[in-house]
Amino acid sequence: MTFGKLTDYVIAKYFKHPSYWQLDGCPYFSIYQMNTFIETFGGDRAKTAAALALFREKVKAAGFPNLLLNAVLFGPGGKESSALAKELGLASVTSYVWIHHYLLPCFPTTDDAAAEGGYFHVVSHGGQRNGLEQPASALGVPYHLNVSMGWDSSPRCSAIADWTKEPGYPSGAVIVNNTPERFRGALLRAKEFTLQRPPKERVITINSWNEWGEGSYLEPDTVHGMKYLEAMREVFGTPAAK
């Protein structure tokens, strides 16, 4: 079975590598687009759960205390997200990017402050999509906050068609005014929120290292240089020596 071979490879080549991220000795493994993952098992959630349970047992047999299985909330909505978390034995859930949970309200551009505020509001109060129709606290497992550097998927639009009139991805609103200073503020907001959680739940996901095709990247560019990375160091790391 392909997934079985994949998990064997991941355990041997990744989980046992000294740089692989672990929490209390448990490797952290995240699955994107859970609906698509379930489709690989013919849409059978019981078979999916069994495959993940076997993955977990392999991890333990390899000498780890457990597997911390995370899923990105993209696809399942409403109470379905809570049900899946329980059925599949998830340790946590998270988001890939703010807009998966919060539809940008203004087209063709939405200000970064509105995107940030909207996302953090639905995390606390629900009312949107992809699992946050309800507050994150109702999901039944820890929800790891996301911080998005920005969003602009227009590079993926056709060069011929009028993308401003085409519904759906990659057409859609672009986040503007997402400066390094605003990014730093969002990191501080997420950090403050996350520090209120138990130590084992203090995880923040960030979009993204190099998603240039969707306008969400931390790599240096010709406009801001290293400032997005410097913002992360200021909030989470050790200040540079002077």
Q: What does the pLDDT average to over 211-239?
A: 94
Q: What does the pLDDT average to over 139-148?
A: 96
DSSP run (H or E) holding 26: strand 26-31
> What tokens does 13 get?
């080549």
> What tokens does 80 get?
């379905």
Q: Contact, 123 vs 136, CB < 8 A?
A: yes
User: Of the ranges 38-42, 63-67, 170-174, which one carries the lowest mean pLDDT score?
Assistant: 170-174
In this prediction, residue 164 carries a pLDDT of 63
Is residue 29 scored above 50 in pLDDT? Answer: yes
Q: Contact, 148 vs 189, CB < 8 A?
A: no
pLDDT tens-place string over residues 189-217: 999 999 999 998 999 999 999 999 999 99
Any idea what DSSP says for residue 240? P
Is residue 242 scored above 50 in pLDDT? Answer: no
pTM of the prediction? 0.92
Calpha distance 132→125 (Å, rounded): 8
| N residues, the chain | 242
Q: Contact, 81 vs 71, CB < 8 A?
A: no
pLDDT tens-place string over residues 164-185: 665 678 888 999 999 999 999 9
Share of residues in the chain with pLDDT > 90 (%): 81
Q: Contact, 55 vs 7, CB < 8 A?
A: yes
Q: Contact, 7 vs 67, CB < 8 A?
A: no
In this prediction, residue 240 carries a pLDDT of 54
Q: Where are the alpha helices (DSSP H) in 68-129?
A: 79-87, 112-125
Surface-to-core class of residue 129, CB atoms within 10 Å of its CB (0-12 exposed, 13-18 middle, 19+ buried): middle
Is residue 102 scored above 90 in pLDDT? Answer: yes
Residues 6+ apart with CB under 8 A from 197: 142
Task: List the one residue out of 137, 141, 149, 152 whose CA is nearest residue 205.
Answer: 149
In this prediction, residue 165 carries a pLDDT of 65
Q: Contact, 76 vs 35, CB < 8 A?
A: yes
In this prediction, residue 76 carries a pLDDT of 83
How far CA 67 is from CA of 1, 16, 96, 150, in Å, comes to 20, 13, 20, 31
Is residue 237 scored above 60 in pLDDT? Answer: yes
- Report residue 23: phi and psi, to 5°: -120, 120
Any idea what DSSP says for residue 140? S
pLDDT tens-place string over residues 106-137: 999 999 999 999 999 999 999 999 999 999 99
Q: Contact, 91 vs 203, CB < 8 A?
A: no
